[in-house]
Amino acid sequence: MNLSADERDLIALHLVTGIGPRLTAALLDHFGSASAVLHASVAELLEVPFLPRKVAEGLQRALANPDVDKECEQIVKHGVHLRVIGRPEYPANLATIDDAPNLIFVRGHIETRDEQAIAIVGSRACTSYGKRLAERIGGDLARAGWTVVSGLARGIDGCAHRGALNAKGRTIAVLAGGLSKIYPPEHADLAAEVAASGALISESCMLMEPMATLFPARNRIISGLSRAVVVIEAAEKSGALITARLAAEQGREVFAVPGPVDSVASAGTHQLLRKGAKLVRHADDILEDLQSLPRLVEESATTTSAPQMPAGLDDVQQKIWEALAERRMVDDLTHQVAMPITDLMRHLMTLELKKAVRRLPGNWYERF
Q: Which residues contact 87 (CB under 8 A, 6 or more apart)?
A: none
> For residues 177 and 157, what is the distance between their CA atoms, to the nearest angstrom?
16
For the cut 90, the answer to whether the pLDDT of residue 21 exceeds it is no
- Tell me the fold of 306-367: Arc Repressor Mutant, subunit A (1.10.10)
For the cut 50, the answer to whether the pLDDT of residue 40 exceeds it is yes
Range in 95-104, 218-227, 286-295 with the lowest mean pLDDT: 286-295
The β-bridge relationship of strands 357-360 and 117-122 is unpaired
Cβ–Cβ contacts within 10 Å for residue 259, how many? 21
For the cut 90, the answer to whether the pLDDT of residue 34 exceeds it is no
Q: To which CATH superfamily is domain 5-77 assigned?
A: 5' to 3' exonuclease, C-terminal subdomain (1.10.150.20)
What's at 316, amino acid-wise? V
Q: Which helix (H) or strand (E) holds 256?
A: strand 253-257
> For residues 299 and 89, what is the distance between their CA atoms, to the nearest angstrom?
19
Nearest Cα neighbor of 171 from 202, 193, 153, 189 is 193
| DSSP state letters, 293-323 | S--HHHHHHHHTS-PPPPTT--HHHHHHHHH
- Dihedral sign, Cα of residue 310, residue 311, residue 312, residue 316: positive
Would you give the DSSP letter of residue 144?
A: T
CATH of domain 109-290: 3.40.50.450
pLDDT-based confidence at residue 304 (cuts at 50, 70, 90): very low
Domain locations along the chain: 5-77, 109-290, 306-367
For the cut 90, the answer to whether the pLDDT of residue 128 exceeds it is yes
List pLDDT tens digits, range 66-103: 788 999 999 999 999 999 988 889 999 999 998 899 99
List pLDDT tens digits, range 173-212: 999 999 998 999 999 999 999 999 999 999 999 999 988 8
Nearest Cα neighbor of 28 from 104, 101, 78, 118 is 101
> For residues 203 and 351, what is the distance between their CA atoms, to the nearest angstrom?
40
> For residues 268 and 191, what is the distance between their CA atoms, to the nearest angstrom?
28
Strand partners, 254: 229
For the cut 60, the answer to whether the pLDDT of residue 155 exceeds it is yes
For the cut 90, the answer to whether the pLDDT of residue 327 exceeds it is no
Would you give the DSSP letter of residue 67?
A: -
- Dihedral sign, Cα of residue 126, residue 251, residue 110, residue 91: negative
**pLDDT score, position 363:** 65
